[in-house]
């Protein structure tokens, strides 16, 4: 297999896997959040990441993405954008929102690295760029969402 194709597959699969983990993290956060506005915010983020998955998988059908993967294995949890342990260590709305912000910043950084370091097919590059921009714009709004707590 061509090394470039393998690298692209690996990078896209990492993003797919981390989005699967993020969905679970946001769903868990929605269950644990005290404020209804924050619960709704986390639910919206879970739906957003589900849509990201659909988009990523559709953008690279020639690549061997891991269909049906239920998130990453326990040994790979250190790669998750949202550190689930930190997410619930204080089990309060403020710490969960702070961890979600940190996770989104890490996601943007990884999306930038993938865009810079790999020769992605046009459709995949467009999907990743659009998702990165969506996360960035959402982060700009989250400054005001701290009022939700």
- Confirm if 65 and 57 have CB atoms less than 8 A apart: yes
CB of 25 within 8 A of CB of 80? yes
Which CATH number characterizes residue 123's domain?
A: 1.20.1260.10
pLDDT tens string 38-82:
999 999 999 999 999 999 988 876 555 445 444 444 334 434 555
Environment class of 117 (CB within 10 Å of its CB; exposed 0-12, middle 13-18, buried 19+): exposed
Domain assignment present for residue 73? The answer is no
Q: How many domains does the chain have?
A: 1
Higher pLDDT among residues 48 and 92, named by residue: 48
Q: Is 70 inside a domain boundary?
A: no
Closest CA to 80 of 94, 59, 56, 100: 100
Domain that includes residue 54, residue range? 3-61+79-148
Specify if 127 maps to a domain: yes
* pLDDT for residue 126: 93
State the chain's mean pLDDT as an integer: 79
Answer yes or no: is 68 within a domain: no
CA distance 124 to 140: 24
Name the more confident of 128 and 67: 128
pTM: 0.79
User: Does some domain include residue 131?
Assistant: yes
What is the per-residue pLDDT across 94-111, written as a single tens digit (0 to 9) for each? 888 888 888 899 999 999
Q: Is residue 69 part of a domain?
A: no
Q: What percent of the chain has pLDDT above 70?
A: 72
Alpha-carbon distance 114 to 119, whole Å?
9
Q: Which two tokens stand for residue 148?
A: 């939700």
Within a 10 A sphere around the Cβ of 144, how many other Cβ atoms? 8
Task: Give a yes or no: residue 125 inside a domain.
Answer: yes
In a domain, 103, yes or no: yes
């Amino acid at each position: 297999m061509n090394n470039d194709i393998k690298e692209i597959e690996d990078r896209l699969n990492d993003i797919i896997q981390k989005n699967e983990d993020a969905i679970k993290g946001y769903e868990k956060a929605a269950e644990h959040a005290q404020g209804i506005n924050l619960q709704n915010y986390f639910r919206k983020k879970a739906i957003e990441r589900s849509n990201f998955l659909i988009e990523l998988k559709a953008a690279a059908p020639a690549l061997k993405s891991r269909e049906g993967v239920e998130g990453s294995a326990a040994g790979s949890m250190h790669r998750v954008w949202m550190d689930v342990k930190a997410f619930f260590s204080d089990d309060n709305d403020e710490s969960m929102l702070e961890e979600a912000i940190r996770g989104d910043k890490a996601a943007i950084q990884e999306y930038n690295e993938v865009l810079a370091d790999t020769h992605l097919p046009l459709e995949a590059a467009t999907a990743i760029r659009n998702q990165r921009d969506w996360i960035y714009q959402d982060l700009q709004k989250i400054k005001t969402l701290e009022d939700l707590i």
